[in-house]
Chain A
Amino acid sequence: MEEPIIQLRSITKVYRVGVETIHALRGVDLDIGRNEMVAIMGSSGSGKSTLMNTLGCLDRPSTGEYVLGGKLVSAMKADELALVRNEEIGFVFQSFELLPRQTALENVELPLLYSATGGSASARRRRALEALQRVGLGKRVDHRPNQLSGGQKQRVAIARAILNNPRILMADEPTGNLDSATTTEILALFTALNHGGQTIIIVTHENDVAAHCRRVVRLRDGRILSDLPAEEDAEVAPYVAGARETQRAQLEAQGAAA
């Protein structure tokens, strides 16, 4: 079997807030393989945000090992982690986090600003344009965020996330600020990217969002509570059939359009 691209071994994370010690993660073991689409679920305080931050190399575990794509990132220094985030991880946030005065294209180019191998101006522009086309925004490259709808903003954010062809796409409540129709669109986009080979991790507390993933990892009190295929997770299962149906419809619509 192929080596998983993410291997977490006995990950713990301990915070100190004043005199209080918070055990956010109490020993997490998790493997995620290439081309998976995983939902991480849990109530607030379950440790899912800490796990996402750890997986996204924004934070280092207190103990344990994290191997990403064969590299032991849990032992890396801050600058090395920045490079890993730049090249191997794409983030999508609930509130989009676009720079308001920059055009869609400039927002998408942002990661190239911090990469030593950005290439020429035209190569950068071409890559950003490609990414925007992949998310279906090829015609709105010069719009600023305030000229875009919520769904379009999130598409720009996704284009920015996939620009460097990252090993993993981390999405933190990506549809939390979107209405249901737009939610479906964005989830279909994730599914399409996943079909194209992109590994995706979505942190969510909504079962119907998780239903679009193939695997659901549930956390409670800093430990993994369950790790099941979507259709076997008791709470997510009822939504799976609907999600599959929506995905099929979207794919057919795209196929018909193409």
Chain B
Amino acid sequence: MKLSGFFFLKSVSMALSQIWANKARSFLTALGIIVGVASVTAVIAALTGLKAKVLSEFESVGAARLYVFPNRPDNAPRTKFPWEKCRLNVNEARAIMEQCPSVKGISPIVDVPMSVESDSELIEGMSVSGIWPAWHDAVGRKVLRGRPFSAIDVDTARQVALVNQAAVDELKLDREGSGGVGEYVLLGGRRFLVVGVVETLQARMFGMNSSQAEIFVPFSVAEKVLSGWYFMQFVALARGPEVAEEAQAEIEYVMRRTRGLQPGDPDTFRVAAIDQYINQFKSMAAGVTAIAGGIVGISLLVGGIGIMNIMLVSVSERTREIGLRKAVGATSTAILLQFLLEAVTLTVLGGMVGLVIGKAMAIGLTLIPGANLEKADVPIWAIAVSLVFSAGVGVAFGMFPAIKASRLDPIEALRHE
């Protein structure tokens, strides 16, 4: 059987007039689809925005950045690799600096809990980080005011400190427009001169720390008060993003040699490139997308059942019309297609409305201050997927009513009251 283009055109226009004639009913029926598509669109927009933001932050500074962590191998005897053997040593950072040609700079970072005191404030047990001057380049954090650490600060273990803006605020160091520079803080009871202020990092994405204050001192100063348990990591900067992998391999080689690990011994440390974080983030985002997709699947299912219900009502209301159409020559296939097209038109319209609402929600997200979603947008693929899914729901749930319509006997249908 051959159906003309006129048939399809006319079927869609009749579907539209049918929907228009039953506006309220059609809207309520499509609500499930509308809500489903709108919510998935908004979630995808938020994730897209978050991803764009995170990736651009990572990439602006991070592609050449490498981290070294202590790492006790899994499944290895605790006696063979005790924690003391895994923990990083500042000499290893020196070895990396000297022996790795692809590494431009490296800084250990050691966190020491100390009491921090200004003229008016006292914070107990705050984490103070010991760093080398290369830290500024390696993590890409410049000073806003004052100066960065210099080699002399470290070599002579001067009692100087860098603070971030949050620490300036929390410790009320900004007196008489100094911005904090030139003030003194007491760290563990000793006086430190604040030489510079660095930017405060954006809030951590997951979980807010109660305090975002950070204080840095020269590594040599922190080293003096290290005792017992402490945690040290290295941050290194490759000479460029293109040699990040070489730098990683060199660091692994130097670390194994310095530690005297035999071939076959597992690594007692871990070198992580920022790429791995990006991938981790991407897989997490994919996970969230999948969960959102599942939720949307459920709402589309519910919406689809509504569609099926209303199409069954429509078939029953229009039984005589179906009988007439068959009498003037409509085949079962033609009737099937007409009712399917009507269901699909309804769901695709619902999908479009949902997309518009989702887009509006995405725009709303970009306006939330501090949510890091200013790049939230609905990607083209999401639009395509939403419409294809909406149409799919129309086909899947419109099929049963359409088959029912197509199988009506024309004589019975024309006799229907």
Contacts and interface: CB of A to CB of B under 8 A. Distances in A.
Interface of A: 53, 56, 58-59, 78-79, 82-83, 85-87, 91, 93, 97, 99, 101-102, 110-116, 118, 121, 124, 160
Interface stretch (B3-11, B172-180, B214-222, B241-249): B3-11
B16 to A, nearest CB: 11
B108 interface: no
A116 B2 contact: yes
A70 to B, nearest CB: 19
A78 B333 CA distance: 11
Given A116-B3, A124-B6, A93 B325 contact: no
Interface string B308-339: 00000000000011011111111111100000
B411 A112 contact: no
Contact of B17 (A79, A87, A101): A101
Contact of A97 (B7, B320, B330): B320
A114 B332 contact: no
Interface of B: 1-4, 6-7, 10-11, 14, 17-18, 21, 320-321, 323-334, 410-411, 414
Contact of B414 (A78, A93, A110, A118): A93
A91 B328 contact: yes
Nearest to A116: B2
Contacts of B332: 78-79, 82
Contacts of B1: 79, 83, 116
A116 B327 CA distance: 16
A53 B328 CA distance: 13
B329 A83 contact: yes
Contacts of A114: 3, 7, 325, 328-331, 334
Given A58-B410, A97-B320, A97-B414, A110 B4 contact: no
B2 A82 contact: no
B318 to A, nearest CB: 9
B4 A56 contact: no
A121 B327 contact: no
Nearest to B415: A49
B324 A121 contact: no
B26 to A, nearest CB: 14
A110 B410 contact: no
24 contacts: A53-B411, A56-B327, A79-B332, A82-B329, A82-B330, A82-B332, A85-B326, A86-B329, A86-B330, A97-B321, A97-B414, A99-B321, A101-B17, A101-B21, A110-B325, A111-B329, A113-B10, A113-B11, A114-B330, A116-B1, A116-B2, A116-B4, A124-B6, A160-B328
Contacts of B17: 101
Complex A-B, nearest 3 residue pairs according to Cβ-Cβ distance, in ascending order: A86-B329, A116-B2, A114-B329
Given A82-B332, A87-B329, 6 more contacts: A82-B329, A85-B329, A86-B330, A102-B14, A118-B4, A118-B6
Contacts of A102: 14
Nearest to A87: B329
Contacts of A101: 17-18, 21
A91 B328 CA distance: 7
Nearest to A53: B411
A227 B410 CA distance: 29
B411 A58 contact: yes
A82 B326 contact: yes
A203 B265 CA distance: 99
Which residue of A82, A83, A101 has the most chain B CB atoms within 10 A of its CB atom? A82
A59 B21 contact: no
A93 B410 CA distance: 13
